[in-house]
Amino acid sequence: MSTLKWSCPCCLRFKFSPEELEQRYRSREIDKMIKKDKQVLKRQVKLLLLGAGESGKSTFLKQMRIIHGIKFEDELIKEFQQVIYQNVVKGMKVLVDARDKLNIPWGDSQNSELGSKLLEFNNNTVLDFRLFVSYATNLSNGLFVSYATNLSKLWKDSGIRRAYERRREFQLSDSVEYFLNNLDRIARPDYIPTNRDILHCRKATKGITEFVIPVNNVPFLFVDVGGQRSQRQKWFQCFGSITSILFLVSSSEFDQVLLEDRKTNRLEESKNIFDTIINNQIFNSVSIILFLNKYDLLVKKVANPETDIRWYFPQFAGNSHSIHDVQEFILAMFTGVKREPKKNLYHHFTTAVDTANIKNVGIKVYTRSI
C-alpha cells in the first residue's frame, strides 16, 4: 500500500484546504529561518568587554566601528557633539574647583569671576552649539562671555594649568586636555566631531551595549558593559556563550583613586576585578585577552619627575622612570593573580584612542577568538 508523501504538492492539494496549506508553508519557512539563525549563532564570536570604569572599553568599541568602516549615524554624531561640549565645560569646572581647594592662586585675578560663573553651571544641562558659543553671561563689569570664551581664557591661566598638573589629586577625565587644546575648532559654527573627537568623547556606559561587526564573513558580537561598581551586577547577564573576554585596564592610573570611594587605588581595583574573572571556573574554556590600556598616558606619567610609582606601590624595585621597568611591574601585578598555570592569558599594551594601534591589536584578537 502506497504512503502519501506530504512533500508532493499535487497530493497536498487534495488532502488539505488552501488555508491549511498556507499554514504548513509558513511553518516550513519559519523552520528554515530558525535553522539558519542557529547556524549563524554557532559561527558567531561573542567578545565581552570588561574592566573598571574609564578603562577604555567604549573607546575600543568605537575604534572597531571606525576600523571596519561602520559610520556613526547622524543622530549619534549630534549626541557626541553635545557630550563633547559637556565634557569640556564640566572638565574646566572641575579644574576651577580644584584650583580653589588646592589653594593655587590665579595667574590673572580677573579670571576669578569667570571661574565663579562657571561653577554655577548645572552638570545636567544639555549643551548644543547655541548654548556653548552664543549663550552669554553678564559679568559685573558689563562684559558678556560665552562658555567657549570663558573656557579659552581660563585654560590660559597659570593657576588652572598648575591645577591640571596636579590632576591625580582629584577626579578629571583624560579627554579634557585634548578638547581644551582644540577649543577654537570645537567652537566654530560648522563644527562636526571628527573620529578622533568621538574617540576622546567621554560618557559613562550604563547598562549593556551590543554591536555586531562582520569580519571575514564571521559575525563578531562585541558586548560592552558599564565598569563602575554600581554597574557590575549586570555583568553576569552577559556571561553566556562567551568566546573571549577582553579585559581592559587603565595602566596609567597607578597614582589615582576611584571616583566611587575616593580612597581605593584604581590599579588595585582593576587587579582585584581581574582576579575574580580569570580565576572563575565559568571561564575555564574562554580565552582572556588583557589590554593594559592608556599606554601613551603611562609613558608621559613615568617620564614626569614629579611622579613616582614607588609612592603608591612601595614593592616596586625597578627604575621608577623607566617605562620598561614600570610596564613589567604592572604586567606582573595582573599575571600574578592567575592560579591555573595552563590557563592561556594574552596581553597587549594599548592606546585605545590610537586607531593604528588598535587595528594591529584587533587582528590578533580576531585570530585568537575564532
Asked if the model's pLDDT at residue 4 lies above 70, the reply is no
* Residue range 89-95: mean pLDDT, rounded: 94
* % of residues, the chain, pLDDT over 90: 52
Last residue of a domain, one of 199, 221, 242: 199
Per the domain annotation, does 22 fall within a domain?
no
350 and 288 inside one domain: yes
Rg of the chain on CA atoms, in Å? 27
Residues 6+ apart with CB under 8 A from 67: 355, 358, 359, 362
Q: Output 58 or 123, whichever has higher pLDDT.
A: 58
What per-residue confidence (pLDDT) applies to 196? 96
Per the domain annotation, does 31 fall within a domain?
no
As given in the structure block, the three cell numbers for residue 344 are 592561556
365 and 248 inside one domain: yes
Catalytic, 100? Answer: no
Per the domain annotation, does 273 fall within a domain?
yes
What per-residue confidence (pLDDT) applies to 142? 47
Counting the structural domains of the chain, the total is: 2
Per the domain annotation, does 26 fall within a domain?
no
Q: Which residue ranges are tagged as binding site for GTP?
A: 54-59, 174-175, 199-205, 224-228, 293-296, 352
249 and 188 inside one domain: no
What per-residue confidence (pLDDT) applies to 134? 64
DSSP-derived secondary structure letter, 300: H
Q: How confident is the model at residue 118 (pLDDT cuts 50, 70, 90)?
A: confident
As given in the structure block, the three cell numbers for residue 262 are 575616593
Last residue of a domain, one of 143, 175, 199: 199
Catalytic, 228? Answer: yes
Asked if the model's pLDDT at residue 138 lies above 80, the reply is no
Indicate which residue of 197, 224, 253, 269 is catalytic: 224
* Domain span holding position 321: 44-71+205-369
What per-residue confidence (pLDDT) applies to 54? 87
283 and 137 inside one domain: no
Q: Which residue ranges are tagged as binding site for Mg(2+)?
A: 58, 205
213 and 324 inside one domain: yes
Per the domain annotation, does 7 fall within a domain?
no
117 and 233 inside one domain: no
218 and 353 inside one domain: yes
Per the domain annotation, does 18 fall within a domain?
no
- Give the tens place of pLDDT for each residue, 213-272: 888 888 998 988 765 655 555 565 566 678 899 999 999 999 999 887 878 999 999 999
96 and 236 inside one domain: no
What per-residue confidence (pLDDT) applies to 40? 45
What per-residue confidence (pLDDT) applies to 37? 52
Catalytic, 350? Answer: no
Q: How confident is the model at residue 71 (pLDDT cuts 50, 70, 90)?
A: very high
Q: Which residues pair with 137 in a beta bridge?
A: 145
Asked if the model's pLDDT at residue 284 lies above 90, the reply is no
210 and 195 inside one domain: no
Per the domain annotation, does 30 fall within a domain?
no
CATH number for the domain harbouring residue 245 = 3.40.50.300
Indicate which residue of 99, 167, 168, 202 is catalytic: 202
Q: How confident is the model at residue 38 (pLDDT cuts 50, 70, 90)?
A: very low
277 and 133 inside one domain: no
Contacts 24+ apart (CB under 8 A), 360-369: 361/291, 362/63, 362/64, 362/67, 365/47, 365/244, 365/246, 365/289, 366/45, 366/215, 366/216, 366/220, 368/244, 368/287, 368/289, 369/45, 369/47, 369/220, 369/243, 369/244, 369/287
CATH number for the domain harbouring residue 169 = 1.10.400.10
Catalytic, 59? Answer: yes
Question: What is the average pLDDT value for the chain, to the nearest integer?
Answer: 84
pTM, rounded to two decimals: 0.81
H helical segments located in 44-129: 57-67, 74-101, 111-119, 129
Asked if the model's pLDDT at residue 61 lies above 70, the reply is yes
Catalytic, 81? Answer: no
Last residue of a domain, one of 199, 222, 250: 199
101 and 124 inside one domain: yes
Closest CA to 349 of 320, 326, 321: 326
Per the domain annotation, does 13 fall within a domain?
no
Indicate which residue of 137, 209, 228, 307 is catalytic: 228
355 and 298 inside one domain: yes
* Residue range 328-355: mean pLDDT, rounded: 94
Q: Are 183 and 148 in contact (CB under 8 A)?
A: yes
